[in-house]
Amino acid sequence: MSHTLKNKRALITGGSRGIGAAIVKRLAREGADVAFTYSSSPDRANETLKAAQALGVEAIAIQADSADASAVVAAVERTVKELGGIDILVNSAGVLALGLIDDFKLADFDRTVAVNVRAVFVAAQAAVKHMKEGGRIINIGSCNAERIPFPGGAVYAMSKSALQGLVQGLARDLGGRGITINNVQPGPIDTEMNPDKSEFAEMLKKQFLALPRFGTAEEVAGMVAYLAGPEAGYVTGASLTIDGGFNA
């Protein structure tokens, strides 16, 4: 273990399972104390919590719905209070609602924007009040911000495209303070919500991926760890795609 993040404090939203849980464990493996939020599934959250603690770092799980702005701010404040500060914020919480424009419900639109866009801004705004020089903000976007080759994904793609503009603008706001902000944009990743063993997955592998396989949550976590670490100090305002060539 390299422990490149020793003495750092990180908050990961949506960290109980999938990509978020992989990020929690990877940052803990690098030596960071970690807090993470979850909106449901306390059993899964407890599993992730124990896995992080087993790596010898301090870890806390915080129940918070990212659609609730006050809960997001409270999670940041609790992280600062219990871990003694915050150096790294990873906005991993996200929702996916698909549907053609004729049938797409306004409630699904509002929740998509609230979780995928507003919560990212709210968490960043709350975190930078406590961050010092060297702070890192990393958002989990999507390759669909740049390419959505099937119907029904317009609102999801819009929400992830919004993050590209947000990080470019906030990079200017925060650069003078020595804080970086970037997006990680995964393509098809093998998770419970998007397993690599399905008819849809096989279609993606054959028709859209340059590398004919799904990625792993651990591979995404590795890119996040790089952006959180000392070697990425000159990377900001960027959207880095990890998609097996989906957008190639």
Could you tell me the CATH number of the domain that includes residue 191?
Answer: 3.40.50.720
2 belongs to a structural domain: no
DSSP 143: G
Q: Which residues contact 19 (CB under 8 A, 6 or more apart)?
A: 92, 140, 186, 189, 191, 217, 220, 221
DSSP 214: -
What is the tally of structural domains in the chain? 1
DSSP 215: B
Handedness of CA 199, 193, 112, 22 (dihedral sign): negative
Task: Point out the residues that are catalytic.
Answer: 156
247 belongs to a structural domain: no
Beta-bridge mates of residue 35: 11, 60
**What was the pLDDT predicted at 200?**
87
pLDDT, block means (10 residues), the chain with 248 residues: 91 97 98 97 96 98 98 98 98 97 98 98 98 98 96 98 98 98 97 89 94 97 98 98 97
The C-alpha atoms of residue 123 and residue 10 are separated, in whole angstroms, by 12
Q: What is the DSSP string of 182-207?
A: EEEEE-SB-SSSS-SSSHHHHHHHHH
The C-alpha atoms of residue 221 and residue 36 are separated, in whole angstroms, by 14
- Token digits for 127? 């975190």
Which residue do the tokens 């129940």 mark? 63
- Token digits for 12? 């990961």
189 belongs to a structural domain: yes
- Contact indicator for 39, 10 with CB cutoff of 8 Å: no
Domain extent, residue 103, equals 9-242
180 belongs to a structural domain: yes
234 closest CA partner among 91, 130, 134: 134
- Contact indicator for 118, 40 with CB cutoff of 8 Å: no
78 belongs to a structural domain: yes
The CA angle 131-8-161, to the nearest 5 degrees, is 60
**What was the pLDDT predicted at 219?**
98
- Token digits for 95? 């929702």
182 closest CA partner among 126, 229, 243: 229
1 belongs to a structural domain: no
58 belongs to a structural domain: yes
- Contact indicator for 23, 90 with CB cutoff of 8 Å: yes
3 belongs to a structural domain: no
- Contact indicator for 1, 30 with CB cutoff of 8 Å: yes
Give the DSSP H/E element, type plus range, for residue 30: none
The C-alpha atoms of residue 200 and residue 6 are separated, in whole angstroms, by 41
